[in-house]
Structure 1
Amino acid sequence: MNDDLIDRFFAAIEAGDVGQVRELYTSDAVIWHNDDLLEQNVEDNLRVLGGLHRLLSGLSYEVLRRADLPDGVLQQHVLHGRLPDGRPIELHCAMYLRVRDGRIARIEEYLDSAKRTPIREAREALQGRQ
C-alpha cells in the first residue's frame, strides 16, 4: 500500500536528494531516534541526512523486511556505505514510518548506537579538518 512512497523516500536518501526527501515529508513531520531519544523536525533531519551522504560513499539500503500497517510501514534494513578511509559500514536498523495523506509524518528509528560510532568518529575527524 505504501511501498511506492517508502521506496521513493529511501531512493532519494541514497541519491542525496534532500529536496525530494523534503517533499515526501509532511511539513510537521517528526523524526525520532532511540539512541538520543530526541525528536527532530524536517530541516534538522535533512541536515543530518546531507551530512551522512557527504560522509559515506556508496550509501545504500538493503531492505530485509517490510510490513504494511494501517497507519504506515515497519521496515528492517541495513544501511551500507564506506567511510572516507575506505572502511565499510553496515548499520542494522528497524524503522516505523507513519504515513498521513500520502507523506511521511513520523519516523521512529531503532539502531545499535555502538555500530554508529565509526560514523560519528569520521564526522568529527572531518569537522576537525575544516
Structure 2
Amino acid sequence: MTPSTAAQRVLDALAATDTPEPPSDLFAEGAVTWHSFDEVEEPTLVHTLATLRAIRAVIPDFTMADVRTTGDDEQTGLARYVLTGTLPDGSRLHAPAAMVIHLEDGLVTRLEEYVDTAQLAPLFAALG
C-alpha cells in the first residue's frame, strides 16, 4: 500500500463510522492518533472512532471535503481536507486540516492531525 493510498483509506475509514470496525488490513495493533490542538495521543481504534461517532450524533452531515492525498516515501502519507458540517444552530463548520499518516510494514501506526482550534470552537461548543 502506498502512503497516498493509505492516506485516502484512512480518511475513508474515518468517514465510515457507521461500520463497526475499519478494514483489518489498514491499522496496526496499537495505532495512535495525536491532535495539534490538545497534543494528546490516544488509541486510534477506540477513541478516534468513538469521537467521530459522537460528532456525527450532533452534526449528522460532518465530513471531510476537498480531500487531497500524497505520499513522500514508503512510510509517510499526507492528507489535506476541510472539516465541514451544519452545526445545531444552522451555521456551517469550515476548518481546513491536515493529517500525517505514518506506516510501518504497510499498516498505519500513527495519525497526526493538524487543525486550528479557533475554527473548531463551534464544534467543541456543540459537543458540550
Asked if TM exceeds 0.5, the reply is: yes
Unaligned runs of 5+ in 1: 125-130
Pair 9,19 (structure 1): closer, same or farther in 2 beyond 3 Å: farther
Out of 68, 72, 79, which is 1:75 matched to? 79
1:35-114 to 2 correspondences below 5 Å: 35-42=37-44, 43-70=46-73, 71-114=75-118
CA distance in 2, matches of 1:114, 1:51: 20
CA distance in 1, matches of 2:20, 2:121: 27
Out of 26, 33, 36, which is 1:34 matched to? 36
Contact in 2 for aligned 1:18/1:49 (Cα 8 Å): no
Which structure ranks higher in relative contact order (CA pairs < 8 Å, sequence separation ≥ 6)? 2
State the shift of 1:58 in Å: 1.6
| RMSD (Å), alpha carbons | 2.0
Q: Give % identity.
A: 27
Contact in 2 for aligned 1:18/1:50 (Cα 8 Å): no
Q: So what's the TM-score if we normalise by structure 2?
A: 0.82
Unaligned runs of 5+ in 2: none
Q: Which runs of 4+ in 1 moved over 4 A?
A: none
Q: How many residues align?
A: 124
Does the residue aligned with 1:51 lie in a helix, a strand or coil?
Answer: helix
